[in-house]
Chains A and B, each alone.
Chain A
Amino acid sequence: GAVVSQHPSRVICKSGTSVKIECRSLDFQATTMFWYRQFPKQSLMLMATSNEGSKATYEQGVEKDKFLINHASLTLSTLTVTSAHPEDSSFYICSATDRLPYEQYFGPGTRLTVT
């Protein structure tokens, strides 16, 4: 149980384009989903928290107009990186939970490369 999927697993896009990453909870209803960013050999950096049907809460320093988050249902959240630039290249990971503040289950991650 507690499986979270992400799609795509890898994406390469050109600078200036937008990319959408999907996060799905497959066997439970996720009241809350989180989006993280991870640079090589570093810890996870929380970008935003989203609850189904409401606006995402962004961490300090994360541009909400650049990283658009939609949590349209209890099993799906999307992260759209708008007007991507090479510095947005990173490993993006989502997590989901139905029992805050405790167990969070992570997706497999999405490797974004902006050329």
Chain B
Amino acid sequence: QQQVKQSPQSLIVQKGGISIINCAYENTAFDYFPWYQQFPGKGPALLIAIRPDVSEKKEGRFTISFNKSAKQFSLHIMDSQPGDSATYFCAASGAGYSTLTFGKGTMLLVSP
């Protein structure tokens, strides 16, 4: 029940295209859903996060869509650029939990 399932494991998108990464969770007590971006040899960086009181949050080219009834959330990267090539992790947490539960990650490659 603590798991966060992330897909796909890897993704290749052409420059200018839309990258979509999906995550699903089981624990209805989760109420915080962040996405992290990690470049090789670097620590993860918080990209964008959402709470269940909204269905969508947009920051620049990055959008989180959240479906509470389906217990799913996704990251959309619009106008994907080669510089977006990285590993993306979704995560979840909530009141009563002191740790983040991470998905297994998605390696995104944006081809020039």
Contacts and interface: CB of A to CB of B under 8 A. Distances in A.
B98 A107 contact: no
Contacts of A46: 99
Contacts of B45: 106
Interface size class, chain B:
20 to 34
Contact of B98 (A4, A6, A32, A95): A32
A108 B89 CA distance: 16
A69 to B, nearest CB: 15
B44 A101 contact: no
Interface string A15-47: 000000000000000001010000001111010
A109 B42 contact: yes
A7 interface: no
B43 A103 contact: no
Contacts of B93: 101-102
Interface in A84-99: 91, 93, 95
Contacts of B44: 44, 93, 106
Nearest to B9: A41
A104 interface: yes
Interface string B88-100: 0100011111111
B49 interface: yes
A46 B98 CA distance: 12
Interface of B: 32, 34, 36, 41-46, 49, 89, 93-100, 102-105, 107
Interface of A: 4, 6, 32, 34, 41-44, 46, 49, 91, 93, 95, 100-109, 111
